[in-house]
Amino acid sequence: MSENTQSWSASATPTRIPVGGTAGTAAYDVLVGHQLLGELPGLIDGPAAAGGERGRVAVVHPEALAGTGEAIREDLAEQGYQAIAVQVPNAEEAKTAEVAAYCWKALGQSGFTRSDVIIGVGGGATTDLAGFVAATWLRGVRWIAVPTTLLGMVDAAVGGKTGINTAEGKNLVGSFHPPAGVLCDLTALESLPVHDYVSGLAEVIKAGFIADPAILGLIEADPQAARTPQGPHTAELVERAIRVKAEVVSSDLKESGLREILNYGHTLAHAIEKNERYTWRHGAAVSVGMAFAAELGRLAGRLDDATADRHRAVLESVGLPLTYRGDQWPRLLETMKVDKKSRGDRLRFIVLDGLARPAVLESPDPAVLLAAYGEVSA
């Protein structure tokens, strides 16, 4: 994304969306609004701050946001924190064991203790990495997510899933480690390239199909307006998508049941991303994955034609892709067999039994799988 070093002062009262606090999970807030970084000190200090003494903070940021990361570090240093900036590669290139080790080294050299805080500033890959580093340093330190992309705001930064990729697949190494808070500054979206913003819409649309159809209605009413952060419903779409995820993860932090529905479209999507060596945008892959899941649900006799067709219409209306290379099915199938939802050699997919009625389809007939993929093959 392009550099963005707008004013960091706090604005009008942001929307606060609570996450956790049930099923033994710690509660935190997702703040949605404009110019929110003035909220950082309160999150950094937390309830355990003693005597006003301010400790160490590591600002993990991608190369593309070097200016933003340094601006945040300088601002925190002026407020009395021992702040360092840790620059990592852009996008999925950051989510490797080597980059995580580099971050651990920076923390060690800075004398990071369990009372110190990591801040992840950037897209979903950066917050995934920052959260994973926080989860593994000293067996867990506090961290704060500051997502700067639509995808990061509505998906990656909410819910406590952290992780890195391996040669065998995406997010196969990770930990559930919820943040102390999430700041979704909508001003940051204004600098996103249109393709990155539209990619994030895939996760917003997913939330509409699995839980909140009002999202679909807002997009269908004006698809072109939905494609830009200047659209009249941007804040509402972001907040609705976050509330869907917040409700699910509050009930099921560690994906033991309900949380699986958030993976709608992701089984094929992750296989596509791996096949493309993570050069595809996540949202583009999820879009193809949802089109596939809709066809799979239809062919399995689970989903009505109108709702299946609605997937294609909504995704296409905002410019998201619907197809992938037909000759890659054998490779994609092998990758899906090591998906996190699989059990032994049994493939499991999230499908819909109707609008906002997600369910599991286990061990589908291989012929049905192939037929469904045929519907999204280029």
Q: Which residues belong to the annotated binding site for Zn(2+)?
A: 203, 266, 282
Residue located via tokens 């159809």: 213
Cβ-Cβ contacts under 8 Å for 134 (sequence gap 6 or more): 118, 140, 141, 142, 143, 162, 177
Q: How far apart are CA 311 and CA 291, in angstroms?
A: 6
Residue located via tokens 């932090």: 253
Q: Which residues are annotated as a binding site?
A: 124-128, 148-149, 161, 170, 203, 266, 282
- Three-state SS string across the chain, please? CCCCCCCCCCCCCCEEEEECCCCCCCCEEEEEECCCHHHHHHHHHCCCCCCCCCCEEEEEEEHHHHHHHHHHHHHHHHCCCEEEEEEECCHHHHCCHHHHHHHHHHHHHCCCCCCCEEEEEECHHHHHHHHHHHHHHHHCCEEEEEECCHHHHHHHCCCCEEEEEECCEEEEEEEECCCCEEEEEHHHHHHCCHHHHHHHHHHHHHHHHHCCCHHHHHHHHCHHHHCCCCCCCHHHHHHHHHHHHHHHHHHCCCCCCHHHHHHCCHHHHHHHHHHCCCCCCHHHHHHHHHHHHHHHHHHCCCCCHHHHHHHHHHHHHCCCCCCECHHHHHHHHHHHCCCCCCECCECEEEEECCCCCEEEEECCCHHHHHHHHHCCEC
Answer whether 158's CB lies under 8 Å from 30's CB: yes
Q: Which two tokens stand for residue 245?
A: 């995820």
Answer whether 177's CB lies under 8 Å from 134's CB: yes
Q: Which residues are annotated as a binding site for NAD(+)?
A: 124-128, 148-149, 161, 170
Residue among 170, 166, 185, 99 at smallest CA distance from 136: 99
